[in-house]
Amino acid sequence: MITVRNLEKHYGGEAVLRDLSFSVEAGEIFGIVGHSGAGKSTLLRCLNGLESYQGGSVRIMDREVAELDNEGLKALRRGMGMIFQNFNLMGRKNVFENVAFPLQIWNRTKAETKDRVSELLELTGLADKRFERIHNLSGGQKQRVGIARALALNPGILLCDEATSALDPETTLTILDLLQDINSRFNLTMVVVTHQMEVVKRICGRLLFLDKGQGRSLGRTEDLFLSSEKTLKKFMEEEYTLLPSGTNIRIMFPREIARQAVISAMARELDIDFSIVGGRLERYLDKVMGFLIINVPDGSLENVLRFLQEKNLPREILDDGRDAVERPR
């Protein structure tokens, strides 16, 4: 669907995207995560032909974007919907007028436009807001309008640029659920760009980490949990203050094992005192997984490691110099 190979993008002398390669398959929700300034928005503008690029290749449905003429670019953009952090809606117009806008640009008849807008408002849960002015809507409702408008011309691809970054966590979840629902109902390919790890790991099947214009594939989202890559950990703010003595161990609960039960069994069976440094439960796609960081006194380390191995729990020793994931066979 989308193939990017060795993409180079400069503004003046400054390289913004460097030797970037990845591909997005039809029907998947592909996530691109990275800090502010990493080049995410620039990348999306290269995909939809709003920006030129200086090297490499961007192919959308087997056509090289740089080789498209004006007509080709128009068709490309019609086939790609886009939603934004600040919604980019016409604030003084109503919901209907905003969603109808692309249909009018492409000369759909009044009747066609009315039908299509009704369908879209139904889909996005806005049927009762049809004639509401945009500036009377909540952030979540505005983004629903943005989504309805982006889908008006039946695009094959939806580009989402920080689409939930202006929303509170609860509203973010409702918008992500809507995107997921649309993806599975219409098999719509989505590229979700954000600085929020929470967002991509909730709905994206595969992830790319964009760092100063360079990409690193993070693979499948469910595998991310077990990854021990340093930059990524830091990005995910998993830096806990480790205790200086003893050994700090991160225990992962990749299946929905009752964490509390394992921990109390360990304390009981091994008869040791360990302290809990930190931990949390996280949701990756539809799975809930958790980790816990414990600190074990020196004399008990071997027993604890053996216990974890017996329980088949992946764990990682976090102290400097001994930093490697060791998984049970």
Binding site for ligand ADP (CB under 6 A): 11, 16, 34, 36-42
- Residue nearer to ligand ADP on the CB measure, 100 or 197: 197
Region for 279 from its dihedrals, namely left if φ exceeds 0, alpha if ψ lies in -120 to 50, beta otherwise:
left
- Residue nearer to ligand ADP on the CB measure, 56 or 314: 56
- Residue nearer to ligand ADP on the CB measure, 44 or 80: 44
- Residue nearer to ligand ADP on the CB measure, 13 or 299: 13
Q: How many other CB atoms are there within 10 angstroms of residue 31's CB atom? A: 26
- Residues 144-183 close enough to bind Mg ion by CB under 5 A: none
| # residues near Mg ion by CB under 5 A | 2
Q: Are 219 and 33 in contact (CB under 8 A)?
A: no
Residue 58 beta carbon to Mg ion: minimum distance, rounded to whole angstroms: 18
Residue 302 beta carbon to Mg ion: minimum distance, rounded to whole angstroms: 49
Q: Are 6 and 56 in contact (CB under 8 A)?
A: yes
Q: Is the dihedral of CA 62, 22, 199, 33 positive or negative?
A: negative
- Residue nearer to Mg ion on the CB measure, 18 or 311: 18
d(CA 213, CA 115): 42
- Residues 205-244 close enough to bind Mg ion by CB under 5 A: none
Q: Are 135 and 91 in contact (CB under 8 A)?
A: yes
Residue 18 beta carbon to ligand ADP: minimum distance, rounded to whole angstroms: 11
Which of 41, 48, 164, 194 touches Mg ion (CB under 5 A)?
Answer: 41
Residue 244 beta carbon to ligand ADP: minimum distance, rounded to whole angstroms: 37
Q: Is the dihedral of CA 91, 92, 95, 100 positive or negative?
A: negative
131 interacts with, out of ligand ADP, Mg ion, none, CB within 5 to 8 A per kind: none
91 interacts with, out of ligand ADP, Mg ion, none, CB within 5 to 8 A per kind: none
Q: Is 124 in the site for Mg ion (CB under 5 A)?
A: no
Query: Which residues are CB-contacts of 171 (< 8 A; sequence separation ≥ 6)?
Result: 138, 139, 140, 164
246-284 as b/e, with b when 16 or more CB fall inside 10 Å?
Answer: bbbbbbbbbeeeebeebbeebeeeeebebeebebeebeb
123 interacts with, out of ligand ADP, Mg ion, none, CB within 5 to 8 A per kind: none
Residues that bind Mg ion (CB under 5 A): 40-41
